[in-house]
Amino acid sequence: MTKKTTIAAVVGLLAVGALFGWLIKGGKVESDTSQKAVAERQEPAVGITEVVQQSLVSRMKVGGYVEPRQVVHLNAQGGGKVVYVYGREGQIVQPGQVVIGLDEDRQLAEYRTAWAKLSGEMSASQNAQVQLRNKLYGPTVSPMGGPGYDAYERATVPFYNMMNRVAPFMGGAPMVPQSEQQFTVMARNQARADYERQQAALVASQGGIDNIEAALRDRRSIAPFPAVILGKHVDLGDTVQPGQVLVDLADVNSLDLRLEVPARLVSELTPNSLIPVVLDGNVTVDAMVDQIFPAANSAQHTVTVKLALPPSAPAAPGMYATALLPEPHAPGEVISAPVIPASALVYRGSLPSVFAVGADGKAELRVIRIGERQGDRVVVL
């Protein structure tokens, strides 16, 4: 019995030892695996590229000012007092929105007078139309004296006209009975002339109303396109004169950089070409050549050039900016400089730096001075 108990104890101890060894070995493997994963996460893959020389374009810095591509100055079309002002500088206005309004008291009084005149001309025109129709198609009007006098004229007037033709010395124009005078050519022409005169007066009255309505529209300065108020030159209660500037509107979503370029550099510019522009000292964007003026300034020997800034450019009207314009090369001159990928730049504060790999394979951090960007690469100066 003692021998069996001893054998069982030995077997139990061997089983416990094997289990403890397996746990130690498995924990070590798991620990090694986790440490390897952490090391892999802490050591990201780093690419190495070779610095190459690339031919460059020599550029000259030319400064200019940012301006809206579309600007409108709303002037007063007539004198009067300002009774309405929309908003302040910087507020957005929509097309058709009234920005400045002048008083309309005098124009409204003239408007009512013109409508009263038009009503009278319409009545006179209708009366002339009735008279013309009566002359053409109306019934015969009873002559003065009644039927007896009408019978007398019918009997004597033809005899008088016959004797006048036989004996011209009696003189006088041919007589026409009163009953026939209504339908003579002269009477009909007179009625037609009266009707047409009234029609002309009616059109003139309508034109007067149109003129006053145009004057009423001129009392309001209306925004012609979506814009922002750049400058407001009047306030409520001010008295303005014809031609006085009231407000300046501009579309600040489309901005241009206006440059005065030396004449020798204009030959290197072509429409729709991209030019690097430095905004606010450290922001560089690519602007497109939008317009090159056809004539140069004879005093300054410069040509005005406008560069269209991209919509995302952090610029505002009046801001100063610098354009890097290409310079013409001297004959046979070739300029080259090292270029590196833009993704290789590392900034320590405001200084650009790169990791340079030496001959021993070790990376060393170096501070560099960079130039313009060319696609996904940047020039090292």
DSSP code string of 33-100: HHHHHHHHHHS--------EEEE---EEEEEEEEEESSEEEEE-SS-EEEEEE---TT-EE-TT-EEE
Query: What does DSSP assign to residue 139?
Result: P
Mean per-residue pLDDT of the chain: 80
Tell me which of 85 and 22 has the higher pLDDT: 85
Which CATH number applies to 52-69+254-380: 2.40.30.170, 1.10.357.10, 3.30.1300.10, 3.55.40.20?
2.40.30.170
pLDDT for residue 176 is more than 90: no
Distance between CA atoms of residues 102 and 83, nearest Å: 5
pLDDT for residue 65 is more than 90: yes
Query: Is residue 326 within 8 Å of residue 59, measured between CB atoms?
Result: yes
pLDDT for residue 53 is more than 80: no
pLDDT at 43 (0 to 100) = 47
Q: For the chain, where do the domains classified as CATH 2.40.30.170 start and end?
A: 52-69+254-380
* Single-letter code of the amino acid located at 111: Y
Q: For the chain, where do the domains classified as CATH 2.40.50.100 start and end?
A: 71-103+219-250
Does the reported pTM lie above 0.75? no
What is the third-level CATH fold of 71-103+219-250?
Answer: OB fold (Dihydrolipoamide Acetyltransferase, E2P) (2.40.50)
pLDDT at 341 (0 to 100) = 84
How far is residue 128 from each of residues 192, 199, 206, measured CA to CA in Å?
8, 9, 18
pLDDT at 217 (0 to 100) = 92
Which whole number is the average pLDDT over 353-372?
A: 82
Tell me which of 253 and 333 has the higher pLDDT: 253
Tell me which of 214 and 184 has the higher pLDDT: 214
pLDDT for residue 128 is more than 80: yes
Which whole number is the average pLDDT over 48-60?
A: 72
The CA angle 24-29-30, to the nearest 5 degrees, is 100
Instruction: Please state whether beta strands 71-75 and 377-380 pair in parallel, antiparallel, or not at all (unpaired).
Output: unpaired
